[in-house]
Chain A
Amino acid sequence: MLKFIIKRLLSAIPVLFIVVTLVFLLMRVIPGDPATMMLGEDADPADIEAFKEMMGLNAPIAKQYIDYLKNILTGNWGNSLYYKTPVFQNILDRMEPTILITLYSTVLSVIIGIPFGVIAARRRATVTDYSITTLAIFGNSMPSFWLGIMMVYLFGVQLGWFPVQGYVSIAEGGLLKSLYSITMPSISIGIQNVSSIARYTRSTMLDVLNEDYVRTARAKGLSEKKVYYKHSLKNSLAPVVTLVGFSIAGMLGGSVVSETVFNIPGMGKLAYDSLMRRDYPQEQAIILFIAIILVITNIILDIVYKYLDPRIELDQ
């Protein structure tokens, strides 16, 4: 197991290196010059030159790249062009709501999605199965931004059950208040994942139920409950774990949308705003940061997968 973990950690290094390179290149080809963007259209050309010189934007691209790599490795991620403060600090300041929404919504989708998938598989080809499957397809078809807006209208404006927008940080109002303020965004981006997890659990469960060892378990005279929850569920969950990884990635990306809809000062909103402001250092840092989170998440999920299904090896 330890060997597996070390191997998995080492395999993440080239991935991150390519992400860094890719992000660097992407940011250089974005049209629009950050200096003009920062100082205004009618700024003095001399000022613009001075600004470029100061930010190192005039150096040859290869030198910029090497400097960039050096800085990333030494932990000096640079300053935001817009806020003038260290980019890493800005991310840390905005991290809380995004991470909290992602966790909240992942937990919601797992505790709702998996049981529904199991029930649908158990009652295969009955009304229950068809209703769950249909609901799941419906949930998968709903754009989260639209659902968010509709929820704001119904539960926020009309019924007044939840705050229409904004975020209460843990420091401000405690964990419960904070979770309350992000319930609607979490549900609106979670619905799609509930649906895909339910559908996926159902289909892997049906696969497992066809296996010989399940027949053996039944032949032994075990109760249906034991067959389902003890012999089948654990094995069918292994592939579902991979899906959870994908959905966490989806939610971190989706935070750009939900945080815009609900006006939450999180990483997603910062990513969107920085891109619109051509704040390269900030944007690079956020993308890199999210990539690191995702790589770590995937490593953890691979370990969970290995634990659930020891037969698997790292695919080479």
Chain B
Amino acid sequence: METIKSRAKFIFFMKRYGRIIIAGTVLIIIMLIAILAPLIATHDPYKVNIYEAKITPNDEYIMGTDAYGRDIFSRIIYGTRTSLIISVSVNALAIIIGTIIGLMCGYFLYVDRIVMRIMEALNALPMLLLAIVFASVLGQGVDKLIICLTMVNLPGIARLVRSQVLSLKEKEFIESAKASGASNFRIIFKYILPLCYSPLIIRFTNGLSATILTQSTLSFLGVGLDSRIPTWGGIIGEGRAYMVVYPHMCTYAGLAIIITVLAFSIFGDGVRDVLDPKLR
């Protein structure tokens, strides 16, 4: 009897948290790869060696070398760093700034009129095109790419927070807070913000995977980062010209993107279902 009960409990637990645990484990492994990159990489990811160029995968170069003789495996390992650093900082920054803008818009109507019009205009442009233009305005560099991708993510987050605020504002507990003399500042940060947390956490986890894809696309096009910096998109972009003869130059980096994005998406979906079960 006991075993059946604990088994049912286990199944229930796995149904609720299984995806988070599995995807979370994969993400931890990916993070470890990023942190321990110097230990895992078999070669120097920057070292150009034209005598060893375009080698197909063998014992020494397990994923082959690129057109400049750089080890693709090591570049992918170091590319994990680039992707994670950019994706996490972009989403953290965008969530913080976007939330502030959204709160202001939802609460002060005059701010709302101006900001929402600008956000609407930004929404009338395709995100990727906007990112490419921003990236070329700002020039190359990790910090600049982070600013560029943050700007692109702001309208969506501001909108999300704003709509939350607009619906919460009408609630009675806000009115009673106002009646008891709470300042606007206090109402916003003490009463409204905590109720926005769960949609924001969902947005953050989903944003991580989306940013990895956008950032890879930009590097693929050669926009945003110096081509010497190892990035997954950059590896694919450089390998594309030799694809017909040396498919290994593009394949593995693409798989790295898929595995990472997949892990973030599944993790995000799991978190969403736990925080907001009615969305299932």
- Interface positions of A (Cβ within 8 A of B): 14-16, 18-19, 22, 26, 29-31, 137-138, 140-146, 149-150, 152-153, 157, 203, 206, 249-250, 252-254, 256-257, 260-261, 271-272, 275-276, 283, 287, 290-291, 294-295, 298
Cα distance A123–B25 when bound, in Å? 30
Cβ of B269 and Cβ of A149 under 8 Å apart? no
Residue of A nearest to B125 (CB): A291
Cβ of B126 and Cβ of A19 under 8 Å apart? no
- A residues in contact with B134, CB < 8 Å: 26
- B residues in contact with A256, CB < 8 Å: 128-129, 132, 221
Assuming A137-B265, A142-B258, is B243 touching A153 (CB within 8 A)?
yes
Cα distance A298–B133 when bound, in Å? 23
B160 CB within 8 Å of chain A? no
Cβ of A137 and Cβ of B262 under 8 Å apart? yes
Contact of B279 among A16, A153, A203, A275 (CB under 8 A): A203
Assuming A30-B137, A287-B125, A291-B125, is B117 touching A18 (CB within 8 A)?
yes
Contact of B129 among A138, A203, A261, A290 (CB under 8 A): A290
Encode B163-191 as 1/0 by CB contact (under 8 A) with A: 00000000000000000000000000000
Cβ of A145 and Cβ of B217 under 8 Å apart? yes
Interface of B is mostly: helix
Output the least CB separation between A7 and chain B (Å).
15
Sample 24 A-B pairs with CB under 8 A, ordered by A number. A18-B117, A30-B136, A31-B137, A137-B262, A138-B258, A140-B265, A141-B262, A142-B261, A145-B216, A146-B253, A149-B240, A149-B250, A153-B244, A153-B247, A203-B280, A250-B128, A253-B129, A254-B128, A256-B128, A257-B128, A271-B132, A275-B136, A287-B125, A290-B125
- A residues in contact with B121, CB < 8 Å: 15-16, 18-19, 22, 291
- A residues in contact with B251, CB < 8 Å: 150
- A residues in contact with B137, CB < 8 Å: 26, 29-31
Output the least CB separation between B244 and chain A (Å).
5
Output the least CB separation between B30 and chain A (Å).
13
- A residues in contact with B125, CB < 8 Å: 19, 249, 253, 287, 290-291, 294
B213 CB within 8 Å of chain A? yes
- Pick from B120, B243, B257 the residue with the most CB of A within 10 Å: B120
Cβ of A250 and Cβ of B233 under 8 Å apart? no
- B residues in contact with A203, CB < 8 Å: 279-280
* Given A19-B125, A249-B125, 6 new contacts (CB under 8 A): A15-B117, A18-B117, A145-B233, A153-B244, A249-B126, A254-B126
Cα distance A294–B128 when bound, in Å? 14
Output the least CB separation between B109 and chain A (Å).
11
Contact of A15 among B124, B233, B240, B253 (CB under 8 A): B124
How many residues of B are in contact with the other chain, CB < 8 A?
A: 43
Cβ of B117 and Cβ of A275 under 8 Å apart? no
Contact of A143 among B120, B122, B136, B216 (CB under 8 A): B216
Interface positions of B from 231 to 280, Cβ below 8 Å from A: 233, 236, 240, 243-244, 247, 250-251, 253-254, 257-258, 261-262, 265-266, 269, 279-280
- A residues in contact with B122, CB < 8 Å: 22
B220 CB within 8 Å of chain A? yes
Assuming A141-B262, A143-B213, A143-B257, is B127 touching A152 (CB within 8 A)?
no
Cβ of A295 and Cβ of B236 under 8 Å apart? no
Assuming A18-B117, A153-B247, A253-B129, is B236 touching A146 (CB within 8 A)?
yes
Cβ of B126 and Cβ of A146 under 8 Å apart? no
Cβ of A145 and Cβ of B124 under 8 Å apart? no
Output the least CB separation between A205 and chain B (Å).
12
Encode B109-147 as 1/0 by CB contact (under 8 A) with A: 000000001101110111111101110110100000000
Cβ of B221 and Cβ of A260 under 8 Å apart? yes
Contact of A149 among B132, B236, B262 (CB under 8 A): B236
B209 CB within 8 Å of chain A? yes
Cβ of A253 and Cβ of B126 under 8 Å apart? yes
- A residues in contact with B280, CB < 8 Å: 203, 206
Cβ of A257 and Cβ of B261 under 8 Å apart? no
Output the least CB separation between A12 and chain B (Å).
9
Cα distance A275–B117 when bound, in Å? 26
Cα distance A43–B216 when bound, in Å? 37
Output the least CB separation between A264 and chain B (Å).
15
